[in-house]
Structure 1
């Protein structure tokens, strides 16, 4: 027991030094930085962030399609629940579509059940938006949403430009990445082998950009009354307490 405790302390101390720049950045933003209990990951919580409270986690992946460690983030903006969109790496989209097809044809299932992550369910449930004005957007990302009109309004403009820019360095071709608007919040999840401050900052900016784009649509949805709802709202997310999503 003593040896285990000493080993844990050494790991936590070493990682604290590795993540010092991230801790300094978080605290400069008025956020709280804490290590996970095992000392192998960290959590950043910025309760007063703009455009909404921000939660950042880095640690072991919670998704089978992201090997190793991942960065996951949530920005709470209180959006209309019918605002449901997703943009993801096109290679990942094709892999997930193949996995869904194989899983549910091999077992003769005719529906996607609640054990399947939203990322996979939405590829079956929602229409794809294939008319992005940018060729890079069309080539590098898969885009789906509750309606094509709303999805297009979300992805075009500032967010689309940010995704195109990110494809040049932050999100190289084939790098697993998912950005979602659901349950009133914006979520981002991506593979990240080592916690890297510049990449983390870039992804936070992308998340915030997606949040602003969704907030611009929020009033439009609320004023128009009932947009088409989706069965995904009825699903209960399969996450553990404290998870980003």
Structure 2
């Protein structure tokens, strides 16, 4: 917990790593690749379900992630009131302990101004039952508001991909967050050096979650299409020491 608090208050430092494996993976699959020299990062763009998605690998945009962050985002035009999250259990417990410590240490200003959605949702939203595979129940935690669309979102296809992640490419203590926010779907993973198997697995999980989120939102309201949100993608609520770059040429 002490390590979490130090990261949360002081921020994380990114280490230089080799982006060639990620670039090769993206080009082999026909995706567009852009380098970010200032951050030694990479931006990959592709299309899924007729909608553009963006993968970014670079400096973390969340204080609970160290060194390097792999993040995926796509605007699905989901209802903005639907807030759903699956988070690795170890990270959920770490964030809950950190939030409790901040409260008990009378750091209300830091909590109000710097606490990200992930930490707030764990405190505010009810936990969902992850049905099915033991691997999934032991490795992940799910919260949502409202609960009904989230129960539909966690369809067998998504549960199967979470199980595959827990058994193959996602280490026991590796932080991961899959969430819907402001009409978009996000995936964040701490990854110092992503390889092909991890990237394939992350994209497969993301695609299953995107397809299921669309089906869940349509079923919840009886409509087949939603207007896309115009809010800024990848907006984060970070401590004041963080300064995310606002341009599309840099990971955000």
Match of 1:203 in 2: 202
CA contact (8 A) 2:57 2:70 kept: yes
Q: CA 1:51/1:94 → structure 2, altered by over 3 Å: closer, same or farther?
A: farther
Instruction: Give the structure-1-normalised TM-score.
Output: 0.79
- CA drift of 1:108 comes to 6.2
Change over 3 Å in CA distance of 1:213–1:51 after alignment to 2: farther
Could you say which structure has the larger radius of gyration? 1
- 2:220 and 2:165 map into 1 onto residues whose CA distance is 28
Are 1:21 and 2:20 matched, yes or no? no
- Could you tell me which runs of 5 or more consecutive residues in structure 1 were left unpaired when the two chains were aligned: 1-11, 225-235
Instruction: Return the alpha-carbon distance in structure 2 between the equivalents of residues 22 and 145 of structure 1.
Output: 33
Aligned residue for 2:216, secondary structure, equals helix
The Cα offsets for residues 59-82 of structure 1, whole Å up to 9 and x where unpaired, read as 122222111111011122111112
Cα distance change, pair 19–84 in 1 and its aligned pair in 2 (3 A): closer
Distance 1:150 1:218, change over 3 A: closer
Report how many residues are paired. Answer: 218
* CA distance in structure 2 between the aligned counterparts of 1:218 and 1:40, rounded to whole angstroms: 37
Asked which structure has the greater RCO (Cα within 8 Å, sep 6+), the reply is 2
| CA apart distance, 1:50 | 2.3
Contact kept? 2:130, 2:136, Cα under 8 Å = no
Q: For residues 151 and 135 of structure 1, what CA distance do their matches in structure 2 show?
A: 19
Q: Hey, which bits of structure 1, 4+ residues long, moved more than 6 A? A: none
Query: Is the Cα contact below 8 Å between 2:21 and 2:195 reproduced in 1?
Result: no
* Cα deviation 1:217-241 (Å, max 9, x = unaligned): 11123339xxxxxxxxxxx743542
- Cα RMSD after superposing both structures: 2.6
1:41 counterpart residue number: 41
